[in-house]
Structure 1
């Protein structure tokens, strides 16, 4: 059963418009076809009259008037209800043969009424009048049969147009109902999303039509929206969790410093400790703001040609002593040399790889080997930071990029949980992919960037 709002739908209106256009086109085509058929029937009628006139005239080949009169009488006798008319008269106007008593005045082909032959009624005739040896011969055919055929063709076209239009309207109603149902599904899903049900998705038919494609795009947008909202929710929870402890600790330190001040005791050590705690809190917020700035793409105007080999070489030299002090080794292998050129922000790329190196140094044990590799393959520059430390569990490989997410749930070690989030934001800004994989043992972090042909700065 069609709902009333189906008749107001765009699909139904379009169906009505196209049905109307189809009907008008059908009417025009039918009229043209009728005119063609009618003209052809009239031409055939004229040809039949001419052939009949010639056949009757041929009976006068030997100048025998009696044969001619007999032929006309035979033709006249074969007709009924004056559907065909024959008239033959001599030069004096005396009727010699035929089935009518009068003849039209015009010679040649003409269209006349039945009264021209002395007949009653409004029947029209197509007549051919000519002379044979001074005698007048008229052959005429009634238009009744021709008009019936033309009317039949016209009515057939009319009924066909009505039926076709009715089918088009019915098909339009069915189409409108189907489209309305699918649009209602889309609208219902969006209403549910608007009410906070972010898990709602538009059902797909799998037909691959434009509505299915649009629904798939909306579902993909909803997936991204859900991920963003979930990320914001998780960030809010993590911020509250991460800042609760340092804020409580800061409050305790300040209260202790105030108590000491009331007792007249020195509290400089407590104030320094409070300053350090406030500094760590500020550092967390600054890191979050920096990630937000990177995700907005505000730094792209500073992109230049950067050699990743040069960046990693400087970082290897800077962190080599730190790794040694931690009982670890740090090495660099650059197969690409100066060919490892990418377009980006040198400072941000330096921070990206510095975060990866610091992450490996901080979380790996004594004796861990940390290696960096750079190579270029088929228009891509690939940089890897590999260690043989504890690695990251496979089910945690995607979560570690979330803001403030830390594998150590107790959060007793130093760090904000924003290092890999910063790495991901910088990689996304540069259009680079980042992959975490198992190094058996340890962790391998691979950054793939599009290479350029420029020279390093």
Structure 2
């Protein structure tokens, strides 16, 4: 654009020189036929005329001379700043007088002004138009990408049945949305089949294991075995009890997640539920000389199932007692939004907190603490049923678990 601007100014000034030279040559030819005077020359308003009879300095002062011939002789390309506001040339008439022909500065100024306006408009308006189009395209792309990201985040947080909208335009984003929707369909179908298969296996195995357990009890009651054999049978019976309890827990979680078991909700006071949990867990904490502190900042009322809420809170408090060493401290805080259970035990690593909410996950590699790996999974399922969520964070040291409810009952 600068080269175009520079070239336009240069060409215009070359035209001015050509006009002046042409005018000078025309007047030189006319002077051969008649004597030229200022009164005859001033008919042309575009030019200024001056007879330089004595003082050459006066000519240079009033009419700066940049003749085309002089430029060609020096072979120097002038820059824009080299051009004066008034251009002039001179010619020797037939009677020997020197005539200076100058161009009105207004012509140059008007051209310069129009050129500047056209130059700025030629840059600003295309740039502004392209900027608006680019911003519109970018916002449209970002909105579609944000919609994809929000949908994927909802899926990653466990929400099922979420799909991307596919418009009739069938553009690249619609193609991407179609592929993602098909992928989600396949994933949910595979997950559903896997869960159903697992539950069916657990259901089928629970009955024969229960029968084996009863037969072991009959053998133990017969008194026909030695003390060592009876101890072995008791251990086998306990292992079968653990298996039956695990399968029962898996089936219960599956029924709750799929809605096979109706959940009745009534108005619940979370403070009362926590106090009921403490009645069961305080003896367990006393065995390890642990202190449990309950703080009620504000009452928390919600629509929920008291039995499920009790089990969710109980699992968290029971885990805190299990994984907190002797003489440890467990703090329970009830506020307007839910309940917090914090301990000073081993805690859970940041990278394992999300995985800890899945079924059959045991983060204790030594298996030194009894459990099925279903406690936090049950809490997570109960919170989803109550339109809430569980968050695990560091208590420095220990674990801080918060149950956050959204559907609260306002007084």
Q: Which of these two proteins has the greater Rg computed from alpha carbons? A: 1
Larger RCO (CA within 8 A; separation ≥ 6): 1
